[in-house]
Amino acid sequence: RLVSLIVNLVYALLVSVPSKPSVDCMLVQNPPAVPLLIVSRICCWILGYFGNRRRPPGLVFDWHNLGYTMFDSGSTVQKWTKRYEQWMGPKADGHLTVTSAMKTYLQDDFLQLSQNDNIRVLYDCPPTMFRPLSMEEQHELLIKMQNILSSACPKSWYENLTEHQTLFTERLVENGAVQPRPGRPALITSSTSWTPDEDFGILLDALVQLETMITKDPQNERQSLSPLKILVAVTGKGPMKDFYEEKISKMKLENVAVQTLWLEPGDYPKILACADVGISLHTSTSGLDLPMKVLDLFGCATPVCALNFNCLSELVKDGTNGRVFETSQELADQLWNLLKPLTDTGNHNAPHGFGTLAEYSNNLMNCKRWSDNWKSNALPVLKTAAGLVIDE
């Protein structure tokens, strides 16, 4: 398999890429480190030696994580991969990192680069498909997903809905306008790979604790107000999905419902935009990268509650664009405080458009997009690596 990969890489870098207009620089993402780093370096040298050019193409490594951390801790493979990355890293002409913490680690420790080396932080940005949706767009999606979302809920949540209503939205008969449905449930989304390194049990424990909070809320005695209802939509596939689906089926919840989903690619960004809050359970193997799933939510202006780990603060600003938690109890408390205002009035509360969530969402409205980010941070590194003049 490794030999086949090397052959394909060499063909791509020496045949497919040079067949295009003149290549000034190659940008290579890491991981995967093996064998991509060394193959790309050798191919740049070959293109420079045999090609009709004054110098080899520049080579920039785009550090999304540390490749060796993907292997079992202390294993021989991990030790050799670490040495290989440390040996190959300084041979690049430039570096991009996804966090400031990773840049510092590469410079001061892992690669021991100098302060003058060509390295910059290039934070990931959400693709343009991740954006806020109009109420009309939300209603269209929620009609499409009505049956699957309702199937996880108690019958009382949907049995009196009219043909113009979904669990979350309604179309007014008199003028055709779409608005949030009064008394709607809160919608939480979480995307997971269902793997052991992402402890989904934290969320399930928090939901049990949240159920208790809802049940014991003294406000429930006021007949004019209905208890908070919460639907958690979990997307993704992975090896532990069946295990957790069985656990979910045994949970005795009345005010909280959980539905696992596998969505069409075009519907995934839309369900995030319909949510009141997203949950991130991502932890980093290196402690130096950031979860793309949070960026997806931020592109939709949807706040997040994220499991804390080293350097998360570079993305999630606790109390500004979301909340950060360490335990299931902390998560339950945060969700209660964020979602409880949904029941306080009979107003038509839009997704993440009430209470503190509205403040967090507003802070996300000017989320940086790729075009400006690329020109400001990536392009100067690529031009320097290629030996091109950088425009001031």
- Parallel, antiparallel or unpaired: strands 119-121 and 94-97: parallel
CA distance 246 to 33: 37
The DSSP secondary structure of 6-43, one letter per residue, reads HHHHHHIIIIITTTSS---EEEEEES--TTHHHHHHHH
Six-digit token string for 295:
């960026």
Position 114 scores a pLDDT of 85
State in Å, rounded, how far the first CA of the chain is from the last one: 46
Position 7 scores a pLDDT of 78
Sheet with strand 58-63: strands edge to edge: 25-30, 58-63, 94-97, 119-121
- In the block, tokens 């999905």 appear at 241
- CATH topology for 135-363? Rossmann fold (3.40.50)
Closest by CA position to 135, among listed 86, 87, 184, 99: 184
Residue 223 has pLDDT above 60, yes or no: no
Contacts of the segment 315-324: beta carbons below 8 A, 24+ positions apart: 315/123, 315/290, 315/291, 316/280, 320/360, 320/363, 321/360, 321/363, 321/364, 322/277, 322/294, 322/360
The mean pLDDT value of the chain amounts to: 91
Give the CA distances from residue 78 to residues 39, 85, 92, 196, in Å, rounded to whole numbers and listed in that order. Answer: 19, 10, 21, 19
Position 104 scores a pLDDT of 95
Position 317 scores a pLDDT of 97
Position 110 scores a pLDDT of 96
| Tally of CA atoms within 13 A in the half-sphere of 339 that contains its CB | 31
CA distance 314 to 271: 25
Q: Phi, psi at residue 139, to the nearest 5°?
A: -60, -40
Instruction: Report pLDDT digits (tens) over 35-50.
Output: 899 999 998 888 887 7
Furthest-apart CA atoms within the chain: distance in Å: 82
Q: Hey, do 2-125+370-386 and 135-363 end up sharing a CATH topology, with the first three levels equal? A: yes
List the domain boundaries for the chain.
2-125+370-386, 135-363
CA distance 5 to 26: 18
Confidence of residue 220 (pLDDT cuts 50, 70, 90): low
Instruction: Compute the average pLDDT of residues 47-60.
Output: 81
CA 127-135-141 angle, to 5 degrees, is: 70
CA distance 332 to 215: 14
Please state the CATH superfamily assignment of the domain spanning residues 2-125+370-386 in this structure. Answer: Glycogen Phosphorylase B; (3.40.50.2000)
Confidence of residue 325 (pLDDT cuts 50, 70, 90): very high
Residue 68 has pLDDT above 90, yes or no: yes
CA distance 112 to 114: 7
pTM metric for this prediction: 0.91
Rg (CA), the chain: 24
CA distance 242 to 245: 5
